[in-house]
Chains A and B, each alone.
Chain A
Amino acid sequence: MTTTASTTIHPTAHPTARDAAGRPFRQVHLAAHFPGVNNTSVWSDGKAESQIAFSSFRHFAQNAERGKFDFLFLAEGLRLREQKGLIHDLDVVGRPNTLAILAGIAAVTEHIGLVGTLSSTFNEPYELARQLASLDLLSGGRAGWNIVTTSDAFHGENFRRGAFLDPKDRYVRAEEFVAVARALWDGWAPGAPAANKKTGEFLSADALTAVDHHGAQFDVSGFGTLPRSPQGHPVIVQAGDSADGRDFASANAEVIFSLHSEFEDGQRFFRDVKGRLPAVGRHPDSLKILPAATFILGDTAAEARERSREVALLQVSPQTAISFLEQLWGTDLGGYDPDGPLPEIDPVLADKGVARGRVRHVVDPVAVAKTWRGIAEAEGLSIRDLVIRFAAKHTFVGTPVQVAEQINRHVQEEASDGFVIVGHTNPTGLDEFVDRVIPELQERGVYRTEYEPGATLRDTLGLTP
C-alpha cells in the first residue's frame, strides 16, 4: 500500500501548524494495544517474549510512554477461547487480571493513560467502581474503562450468576452500571477527607453522599469508600458497533475503539457517531474515535510490502489457516491442504459455531463461503492466502513517512481522531513505531512532543473543554 495523501497535507515542523485555511491541524491521538490472544500476535519467530511476565508489560508501557501515546489498552477475555470443544492452542494464550496489571503498570509509568477492558456483565458496580477509582488514585488520574457487555453462557460458566442476562439487555445493564458507578464516584465531596488533625474531623459534615439505586438490573445502597479521584470519573471507552452500541457510545463514551480503519468507511462511521452527539448535548470533540490499526514499516515501500508478507505468513500458520476456515464452515476441515483450494462443501449451518470465546458474527455462512471461493478462484489464492487476506491484512504498510502521512490524512480528513496501534510482537512490537513514525507525526505538528505536566488521561485526550 502506498500513500495517496501527501498532496493534501503540508508538513511543517512546529506544533502550531495550520492548514491552508489557517485552522490549526487536528491533533492525532494514539493508543497502544498490548498484544492480544489472537493470530495477530506472532509467537513463532523467536522474537516474542513472555505474554505474562511483568517485564513484558513494563517494556511495552514504557515504550508507549516514550512515544507519548495517549493510553495503553488491554483487552480481556474471561475464558480461554475454544474451537471444536477444545481450548484453542494455535495463538498466544494467557493474560493477567486486567485491573491488577494496570495497577502494576501505573507504578512504572508517569503519564500514559491506562485503559482496561472490563465487563459490565460479569462484575458488580460497587466493586468495579471502587477498583477503577483506586486505579485512578494510584495512577494520578490516568484510568480508563473499556466497557464490554459479553453475556454468553460460555463465559458465564466462570461466574456466580452464569448466563443470567438476555443479550438484548446487555446495554440496558451497561447503562445502569455506568449510572451507578458515576453516582459512587460522586459520593465524596470535593476536598474530602478533611483529615483535620486539629479539629479531629477526618470527614467534615456532609462529606459523604449515599447512593441509593434501585433499578431493573441493580439494587445498590450505601457509601463509596474512596475520595473523588483525580479525574472524578475514569475515561469511558466503548467498542461495540451495533446500533445499540453506537447509541450507548454517544450517550456515555469518551473514546470509541472502532473497527473502521478503512478511510471512506472511517469517514462514514465518524460522521454517523459524531452526528449523534448534538442530540445528547455533547460537543464533537468530547468523543474520540480511534480505529484499530496494524502497521508494517520498511525503508522503501517495496521492502515494507515484503515484510508485510513475511509477517502475514507468521500470523497465519498452515494450522491457523485451517482453523480460521473452520470457524466459518462450522466443521472439521483438518483433511484439507492449507496450500490448496477452498473446500467445495458448504458450511454446516446447524452448528452453533465451532469457535467460542471470541467475537465473530457471520449472518449467512453459505453466502460468505461462496464469496470467498469466488475471490480465491479469481485471484488464484490458496486457503492460506485467502486467510492472510482476511485475518492478516495490515492497515498501514510503507515507509515511516508514508505511514505517518496516512495516519495524518485519516485525522485531518475526519476518518478518525487517531488510532489504536496494534503491534505483532510482544512486547517490542511498537518500538519501531515509536522510533520511526512518531517523529514524523511530531514533525508535522500533529502530535505532542511532550505530555502536559500533571495531565490526566482526559486532559491528554483533549476531552476537557
Chain B
Amino acid sequence: MTSPLYLGIALDGAGWHPSAWREPDARPADLFHLDYWVALVRAAEAAGIDLVTIEDSFGLQSTGFGGIDPRRDEVRGRLDALLLATAIAPHTSTIGLIPTITTTHTEPFHVATGVQTLDFVSDGRAGWRVQVSGRAHEAAHVGRRTLPALDPALVARGTDPAQTALLEDLFGEARDTVEVARRLWDSWEDDAVIRDVETGRFVDRDKLHYIDFVGDRFTVKGPSITPRPPQGQPLVYALAHQKVPYELAVAGADIVGITPHDDAHLVAILGQLDTAAQDVSRGADEPLRVWTEISVLIGETADAALATLDRLNATHGEPWTSDTVILADTAEAVAAQLLHWHSLGIDGVRLRPARLPDDLTAITERVVPLLRAAGVLDRPIGAATLRARLGFGRPESRYASPTAPAARATAAADSEADPAADSTVELDLTGSIR
C-alpha cells in the first residue's frame, strides 16, 4: 500500500492573495458570519480533506512588523479562530479543525481548556496551530510589556543579538505554553470519573493531577477544569522557518509545517530539524511529522493561472509575496508538486488557497481526484479522531499509574489497528529521515 499524503487547507479571510476579496466569487461582506466558514469547511470535508486551519493573530492584520499599516484595500479583522472552529464543529463530522491561537499574551490555562473543549464539541477533531505574537502593537493591546520591533530580515540573518533574544523569548514562552497545555490535557486520567454511589464519590481524586508547571514567565498549578478530551492530546501544529521555531516544533508539536523553496532547501530544512532534535528534548509522544506548505492559484492552463496572478497583483499594486512557494499553475502541476514532496518522504501538505472559494474549489474538484488516483488519500476505515486519521495513536495520560493495564491495552490496540501507522514516513528523532 502506498503511504498516505495528508492534506490541510489553510483558511484565511477571502484567501491568501491580498486582492482575493475583490474576485467575483469572493464574499468579503460575509467574513464575519459563521455561514461563510461552514460552507468552506464543508466543501473541504466533502472532498476528503483531512483538516483545515484557521488563521488568527492578536490584533489587526498588517503587512509589516513595524506597526499597523494604513492600507484599507486589504481584508482586515478576524473572528477569534478558536471560537469560530468550535462553532464550525457541530456543522461538520470528519474534518480536523485547527485554529490558530497565540501564546504570547494569552493565558496558557484558557488556551488549554479552549482546545480541550473544541475536542469535545468536535468529538475528537481538534488541533491547535501554535503562534507567537511578536508585533509591538499587539503587546500594546495588553500593556504589560513592550516588545522591540521584530525585523524578519534581521531575524533570518541571525546576526542581531537583540532580535535573537526576542525570538528565543517568544518561542520559549510558546514552548512553555505547549508544555502546560499538554500537561493539563493529561491532568485527568481517562477513567477519573467513577460515579461510585457506595462511597459518594463522583471522581477518583487520585486520577486528577496537579501539573505544577513552573517556568520563567508563568506558573500553572492545575489540574485542568476540563476532563481529558476525546483524543487525549489534541494535535499541535507549528509553522516554522528557522532554528528557534524548529526547536519549538521538536519540543512540543505533532506536526511541523515547513516552507521549502526547492528540493535543496527542503533537504537543508530537514537537516536543521535533525539538528534541533539532537539539541531539544521532545515533549510529545510520537515522532514529529513534517508537512510542507504551499500557496496555490489554480487555472485551467498554466498561462491562465499566471494571467490571473498578474491581474490580482496589478490590482494590489505590487506582487504578492509569501513565506511559501507560490504556485500559479494547473491542477495537474499542483498535484505533481505534492506527489513529488510525498516521494521525498513528506507526510502532508498545508495548502494556502490564493482565492476563496475559487482555489479551494479547484483543489477539491481537480487536485484531490488526481491525488486519489495516485493512491495517497486512502485513510484508515473508522478513524474517528483527527489523530487516528493522521496515523497517530491515542496516548495514555503521562500521569496514568502503571497499574492500569486496561487503559494501556486499549491505546495499544488503537495504534495497531491503524494501517497507516507503520507506513508513515516520520522524522526519526535520532537524527535521520526514513
Chain A contacts to B: CB under 8 angstroms: 43-44, 52-54, 58, 77-80, 86-87, 89-97, 99-101, 103-104, 106-108, 122-124, 126-127, 130-131, 134-135, 137-138, 157-160, 162, 188, 193, 195, 197, 200-205, 207-208, 218-223, 225-227, 317-320
* CB closest residue in chain A, given B56: A225
In the assembled complex, which residues on chain A have CB atoms less than 8 Å from the CB atom of B372?
none
Q: State whether the Cβ of B149 lies closer than 8 Å to any Cβ in chain A.
A: no
Considering the chains assembled together, what is the distance between the CA atoms of A208 and B203 in angstroms? 50
Considering the chains assembled together, what is the distance between the CA atoms of A43 and B105 in angstroms? 38
Choose from A79, A97, A130, A227 the contact partner of B116 (Cβ within 8 Å).
A97
Other A-B pairs, 20, CB within 8 Å; known A89-B201, A100-B113, A226-B77: A43-B195, A89-B204, A94-B193, A95-B226, A96-B226, A97-B110, A100-B117, A103-B87, A122-B107, A126-B142, A127-B141, A134-B80, A138-B83, A158-B221, A159-B109, A200-B73, A207-B72, A223-B68, A225-B77, A225-B78
Choose from B72, B195, B223 the contact partner of A44 (Cβ within 8 Å).
B195
**Total chain B interface residues with beta-carbon distance under 8 A:** 75
Q: Is the CB of B113 within 8 A of A97?
A: yes
Known contacts A77-B225, A225-B77; is-contact A103 B83 (Cβ 8 Å): yes
Q: What 7 A-B pairs come out closest when comparing CB atoms?
A: A219-B143, A319-B200, A100-B117, A104-B121, A195-B28, A157-B221, A97-B113
In the assembled complex, which residues on chain A have CB atoms less than 8 Å from the CB atom of B218?
159-160
Chain B contacts to A: CB under 8 angstroms: 21-22, 26, 28-29, 31-34, 57-60, 68, 72-80, 82-84, 86-91, 105-110, 113-114, 116-118, 120-121, 123, 137-138, 140-143, 188, 193, 195, 197, 199-205, 208, 217-223, 225-227, 315
Considering the chains assembled together, what is the distance between the CA atoms of A306 and B60 in angstroms? 59
Q: Is the CB of A226 within 8 A of B21?
A: no
* CB closest residue in chain B, given A53: B120
Instruction: Write 23 A-B pairs (CB below 8 A) sorted by A numbering.
Output: A52-B120, A54-B90, A78-B109, A80-B225, A89-B204, A96-B116, A96-B117, A97-B114, A99-B83, A100-B83, A104-B117, A107-B86, A107-B89, A127-B105, A134-B83, A158-B220, A193-B76, A200-B73, A203-B76, A221-B140, A223-B59, A227-B77, A319-B201
Residue pairs across A and B with CB atoms within 8 Å: the count is 216
Q: Is the CB of A138 within 8 A of B87?
A: yes
In the assembled complex, which residues on chain B have CB atoms less than 8 Å from the CB atom of A188?
77
Q: Is the CB of B84 within 8 A of A97?
A: no
In the assembled complex, which residues on chain B have CB atoms less than 8 Å from the CB atom of A44?
195, 197, 200
Q: Is the CB of A103 within 8 A of B86?
A: yes
In the assembled complex, which residues on chain B have CB atoms less than 8 Å from the CB atom of A127?
58, 105-106, 141-142
In the assembled complex, which residues on chain B have CB atoms less than 8 Å from the CB atom of A320?
200
Q: Is the CB of B32 within 8 A of A126?
A: no
Considering the chains assembled together, what is the distance between the CA atoms of A221 and B89 in angstroms? 33
* CB closest residue in chain A, given B201: A89
In the assembled complex, which residues on chain A have CB atoms less than 8 Å from the CB atom of B26?
197
B229 to chain A, nearest CB (A): 9
Q: Is the CB of B74 within 8 A of A202?
A: yes
In the assembled complex, which residues on chain B have CB atoms less than 8 Å from the CB atom of A101?
86, 117, 120-121
In the assembled complex, which residues on chain A have CB atoms less than 8 Å from the CB atom of B33?
137
Considering the chains assembled together, what is the distance between the CA atoms of A122 and B78 in angstroms? 23
Considering the chains assembled together, what is the distance between the CA atoms of A219 and B145 in angstroms? 10
In the assembled complex, which residues on chain B have CB atoms less than 8 Å from the CB atom of A220?
140-143
* CB closest residue in chain B, given A86: B205
In the assembled complex, which residues on chain A have CB atoms less than 8 Å from the CB atom of B84?
103, 134, 138
* CB closest residue in chain A, given B200: A319
Q: Is the CB of A222 within 8 A of B34?
A: no
In the assembled complex, which residues on chain B have CB atoms less than 8 Å from the CB atom of A78?
109, 225
In the assembled complex, which residues on chain B have CB atoms less than 8 Å from the CB atom of A99?
82-83, 114
* CB closest residue in chain A, given B180: A158
Choose from B57, B79, B204, B222 the contact partner of A158 (Cβ within 8 Å).
B222
Choose from A97, A123, A138, A157 the contact partner of B226 (Cβ within 8 Å).
A97
Known contacts A52-B227, A157-B219; is-contact A203 B72 (Cβ 8 Å): yes
B127 to chain A, nearest CB (A): 14
Which of B26, B82, B87, B137 has the most CB atoms of chain A within a 10 A radius of its CB? B87
Choose from B22, B34, B217, B222 the contact partner of A200 (Cβ within 8 Å).
B22
Known contacts A100-B121, A138-B83, A197-B22; is-contact A222 B59 (Cβ 8 Å): yes
* CB closest residue in chain A, given B111: A97
In the assembled complex, which residues on chain A have CB atoms less than 8 Å from the CB atom of B32?
137, 226-227
* CB closest residue in chain B, given A314: B197
Q: Is the CB of A135 within 8 A of B203?
A: no
Considering the chains assembled together, what is the distance between the CA atoms of A44 and B138 in angstroms? 48
In the assembled complex, which residues on chain B have CB atoms less than 8 Å from the CB atom of A157?
219-221
Q: Is the CB of B120 within 8 A of A96?
A: yes
In the assembled complex, which residues on chain A have CB atoms less than 8 Å from the CB atom of B188?
94
Q: Is the CB of A223 within 8 A of B60?
A: yes
